[in-house]
A and B are shown apart, each in its own frame.
Chain A
Amino acid sequence: MKSLSSLERTVLECLGKQSLIYTDIQEQSGLHENVCFNIIQALIIRGIIHTDGVRYKIKENLSPLMLEEINGAEAKEAESLELMEAVVGQKAERVFKIRKVAMDQRDEKIFLAMLSNLESFLQDAHKKAQSSTPLKERKVVFWGMGEVQSLMSQIVSGR
């Protein structure tokens, strides 16, 4: 597999630029002990993180190929799909709505402005609570819009 899975990315996001001990990574990611341990091992094998035996850190000089695997468009698309699929499939406390909405041009502009407001709100909220909220307690939020015709033709053509 080329790109990282969202599980692996979770561990990397916990580490960020810091060096953490195993229990901190596990605590912040909320991953089960075994899962967390296996992911860390796999990331070490892939040469993305290193350890002095106690603390773990993301390697500083990752190759461009490796960076592409982590942050490339394909990797991000795959991660988005994985997370969206998980949200759609969530059983408890599910918050998900999708609609085919008839909108005139004026309403579409209003809607886009509202999305822009939403984005600013989320950025502010994130800044405010970033330092006090561990990764496991953060919320996955997504939005998007597309025209039915172009989406359908995309589905049919397989692009």
Chain B
Amino acid sequence: MSLQKKSLQRYRLFFPNDTLREVSARTGIQITRVFRLFNGKPMKVGELETFEHIIMEKLKENPNHMRLTNILEEASAILTNDEMSKIIDWIERKIVARNYGRSYISLNQDNASIA
């Protein structure tokens, strides 16, 4: 996955309900340009940095983020494969449960029709 795509995907994780207008306001990038970027137009370095900066600021709001990153690194070095697998399962379940609670339907689900 390209750096740009990854960055936009991370942005969407943190701001899932942002409209194009809101993305534009948050990043200072023109709305038509935002539309193009989300449709795969190549980003300029400055734009990528803006998105990354916003993500980093959002991460800083949660003091446990750094702790989690550090502890996961230590865990992958020390814990057994089974223990790691349990932790991953537990985290995945937390994420799935939280995603169900979100008011939006993710892209995959959106594309699948019920009928």
Seen from chain A, the residues whose Cβ lies within 8 Å of a Cβ on chain B are 1-3, 5, 7, 32, 34-35, 37-42, 44-45, 51, 53, 78, 81-82, 158-159
Seen from chain B, the residues whose Cβ lies within 8 Å of a Cβ on chain A are 79-80, 82-83, 89-90, 92-93, 96-97, 99-103, 105, 108-109, 112, 114-115
Chain B binding surface SS class: helix
What's the minimum C-beta distance from B49 to chain A, rounded to whole angstroms? 33
Q: In the complex, which residues of chain B have a beta carbon less than 8 angstroms from the beta carbon of A37?
A: 105
- Per the bound structure, the CA–CA distance linking A51 and B115 in Å amounts to 7
Cβ contact within 8 Å between B115 and A7: no
Q: In the complex, which residues of chain A have a beta carbon less than 8 angstroms from the beta carbon of B109?
A: 38, 41-42, 45
Cβ contact within 8 Å between B92 and A1: yes
What's the minimum C-beta distance from B92 to chain A, rounded to whole angstroms? 4
Q: Which of B82, B89, B102, B114 contacts A78 (CB 8 A)?
A: B89
- Per the bound structure, the CA–CA distance linking A61 and B96 in Å amounts to 26
Cβ contact within 8 Å between B80 and A158: yes
- Per the bound structure, the CA–CA distance linking A37 and B108 in Å amounts to 14
Cβ contact within 8 Å between B100 and A7: yes
Q: A2-B89, A41-B109 are in contact. List 18 more A-B contacts (CB 8 A).
A: A1-B89, A1-B92, A1-B96, A3-B89, A5-B93, A5-B97, A7-B97, A34-B101, A34-B102, A35-B101, A38-B102, A39-B100, A41-B105, A42-B109, A45-B109, A81-B90, A158-B79, A158-B82
Among A41, A53, A78, max chain B CB count under 10 A is at A41
Cβ contact within 8 Å between B105 and A82: no
What's the minimum C-beta distance from B97 to chain A, rounded to whole angstroms? 6
Q: Which of A32, A45, A53, A158 contacts B115 (CB 8 A)?
A: A53
**Could you jot down 27 A-B contacts, CB within 8 Å?**
A1-B89, A2-B89, A7-B96, A7-B97, A34-B102, A34-B103, A35-B101, A38-B100, A38-B102, A38-B109, A39-B100, A40-B114, A41-B114, A42-B100, A44-B112, A44-B114, A45-B108, A45-B112, A51-B115, A53-B115, A78-B89, A78-B93, A81-B90, A82-B93, A158-B80, A158-B83, A159-B82
